[in-house]
Amino acid sequence: MAVLSDDGSESVLTQASGETVAPQKITALTQSQLQIKAKILAADDSYRIVFYTPVRSEISVQIQAVIASSYDETTVNAQITKVILDNFGVSAQQSKRGHASPLYQQIYQLLKANVPALSVGRADLKVYIDETDSTLKPELWRYISAASLTVSVTAGNVVTPYWGAGF
């Protein structure tokens, strides 16, 4: 298993896109790891418990949004970026577990709920998640960084089926 304590003092490996980094077996356990091991063995002493270094890997995500011209593109771009990094960034709760990967539906729901320009009228949204690394391992912790996130916002005359729906 791969864990980090709240203080994050344990070592972490980084895996670039397209490469594979093997985790290292940890022999000198931290206090947090010793406590986890003790709890597991107290529940069932038949387990062999081995700790590995977490391997962090960035996920490349592209987001394209079309919004009504009554919204400022720069502001909406900043709102989208904040929502994504708050929920899927390196310090987000979801990114602190193995097997974590954002789902399209999850991103669409978060953005629609938290970015007003995307929840009115006929605003449009397209999300692309790079899924080239399909080998999900418990020690592989995936996250979205500011460098791996591309956000494109275009304002236009969004045609709505009735008056006032595009505001």
The string of pLDDT tens digits covering residues 145-158 is: 999 999 999 987 65
Q: Give a yes or no: residue 96 inside a domain.
A: yes
* All residues at 6 or more sequence positions from 11 whose CB lies less than 8 Å from its CB, including other chains: 24, 53
Q: Domain count of the chain?
A: 1
Give the model's pLDDT for residue 70: 86
28 compared with 160, residue with greater pLDDT: 28
Q: Measured between alpha carbons, how far is 89 from 70 in angstroms, rounded to an integer?
A: 29
The alpha carbon of 112 is separated from its chain's Cα centroid by a whole number of angstroms, namely 17
Instruction: Detail the DSSP E strand segments found in the chain.
Output: 13-15, 25-26, 51-52, 55-58, 61-68, 124-129, 140-143, 149-156
**Residue 55 pLDDT level (bands cut at 50, 70, 90):** confident
Q: Give a yes or no: residue 2 inside a domain.
A: no
Give the model's pLDDT for residue 59: 87
Average pLDDT of every residue of the chain: 84
Give the model's pLDDT for residue 115: 94
DSSP state of 49: -
pLDDT over 90 percentage in the chain: 41
Q: Give a yes or no: residue 58 inside a domain.
A: yes
Q: Give a yes or no: residue 142 inside a domain.
A: yes
CB-side exposure of 85: number of CA atoms within 13 Å? 13
Q: Give a yes or no: residue 92 inside a domain.
A: yes
Q: Give a yes or no: residue 46 inside a domain.
A: yes
Q: Which two tokens stand for residue 45?
A: 């002493």
**Residue 141 pLDDT level (bands cut at 50, 70, 90):** confident
Q: Give a yes or no: residue 162 inside a domain.
A: no
Range of the domain at 128: 13-156
The string of pLDDT tens digits covering residues 62-102 is: 999 999 888 999 999 999 999 999 999 888 877 776 666 78
Q: Give a yes or no: residue 167 inside a domain.
A: no
Task: With CA atoms as reference, report the closest residue to 90 among 141, 33, 138, 136.
Answer: 141
The string of pLDDT tens digits covering residues 35-44 is: 999 999 999 9
